[in-house]
Amino acid sequence: MLEATHLTDSGHSGISSSHTKGTGAPLLPARHGAFRLPGTAARAPRPRIPGTRLLRKIAAAALFLPPLFLVPAPLSAELVWSPVSGWSLEDPTPSEARKPQPPEALQLMNEARQFQEDNRRITALRRYRRVQRRFPDSVYAPESYFQSARIRLERRQWNHAFDALDTIARQYPQYHRFNEVIGLQFEIAVDVAEGARFPILWVIPGFRNMERAVDMLDKVVTNAPYSEYGPVALAYMAQVEKNRGRPEDAIDAYERLITDYPDNLLTPDAYLGLANAHAELVTGPEYDQGSTRKAISYFEDFMILYPDSPYGEAAEEGLEEMRDVLARSKLLLGDFYNYRRRNYVAARVFYNEAITVAPDSPGAVEARERLESIEDKGAGRGS
């Protein structure tokens, strides 16, 4: 097989699988912003999304786990390109060997690849598009989408490249480069999440599109839910939503990660992220404390389930802060009955609840002072 037929000749280390032929796609490249095809110019690095460094480290550690199989057997035959003989099938399956392939499709594929080699990308895309429209059931169709995606990536047309790969994932799940397809989808999604702009008229830098990045990450999870990419894509999705100021959507992504991947390396961080996301929804002791209670619950779950985590101290600080907010909400209720209604019995109930919720918090200290004040008045027996 010639190296020209693979995107992995860019130097990425792949994930091997007994269900793949050749080199698989990388779980997480060393620098997403540096991803490029052979022969293309490197682009300047972009600012990273805050909080994703940990995701990269954990995702890199996942490379040492046993590989998960993404594709059901049998895989389709591998198409190999040769500048001399053109495209040819290598080790076709029995059904593919029995099924005659349209000669016109092969001719279009050879013309397209030759134009591609000559850097006539637009003409090559047109030839590949004809294959896709006229011969969608041929063995050449998924390869035409894959090569189209390569050209789109060279032109930095992230949307078109991702959609071409998505078509393969949905319509041709037995394509022999399925793992590589999902890997490229993941890389494009992360590139977009980290600031890749959609060009206008192929030249003018466009705007960032975080909504599209989230949609891409979600499709990665949908296309390969049992792959190594699923939990990492959800973690990135949660981080993007959090940075967009949408904690409710971040919570949804974290909950999906915890529910669908309970034993994954990213699950502990999802618990902590879930607690922090709920904490961001807390508006103060004067308002409803539903989010405060949920944040407390997830902080406690994290500390119980992962007592040796290096982030235990941060979780404990968050837990104390949320408990103090809840204690102060009880304190405010006690003050209402104490100063507005002169109902000292009810006031004492809420002051004691504030102390019970967080005995060592500043709110509990104030609650004790209020109780002493009521006792000094000699009014602790009734209203």
State the Cα–Cα distance between residues 283 and 280, nearest whole angstrom: 8
Instruction: For residue 78, give the amino acid letter.
Output: E
- Within a 10 A sphere around the Cβ of 283, how many other Cβ atoms? 12
DSSP state of 7: G
Q: Where are the alpha helices (DSSP H) in the chain?
A: 53-61, 94-98, 103-117, 121-134, 140-154, 158-171, 178-193, 210-223, 229-243, 247-260, 267-280, 290-305, 312-335, 344-357, 362-377
Give the Cα separation of 380 and 155 in Å (integer).
77
Amino acid 62 reads A
pLDDT in tens, the chain (383 residues): 333 333 333 333 333 333 333 333 333 333 333 333 334 344 444 444 445 555 555 455 444 444 444 444 456 778 999 999 999 988 777 776 677 889 999 999 999 999 999 999 999 999 999 999 999 999 999 999 999 999 999 998 999 999 999 999 999 999 999 999 999 999 999 999 998 877 766 666 677 889 999 999 999 999 999 999 999 999 999 999 999 999 999 999 999 999 999 999 999 999 999 999 999 999 999 999 999 999 999 999 999 999 999 999 999 999 999 999 999 999 999 999 999 999 999 999 999 999 999 999 999 999 999 999 998 876 445 44
Of the chain, the end-to-end C-alpha distance in Å amounts to 89
> What's the Cα-to-Cα distance from 368 to each of 12, 330, 373, rounded to whole Å?
62, 12, 9
**Which among 32, 54, 46, 33 has a CA at the least distance from the CA of 276?**
54
The one-letter amino acid code at 273 reads G
Strand partners, 204: 200
pLDDT of residue 379: 47
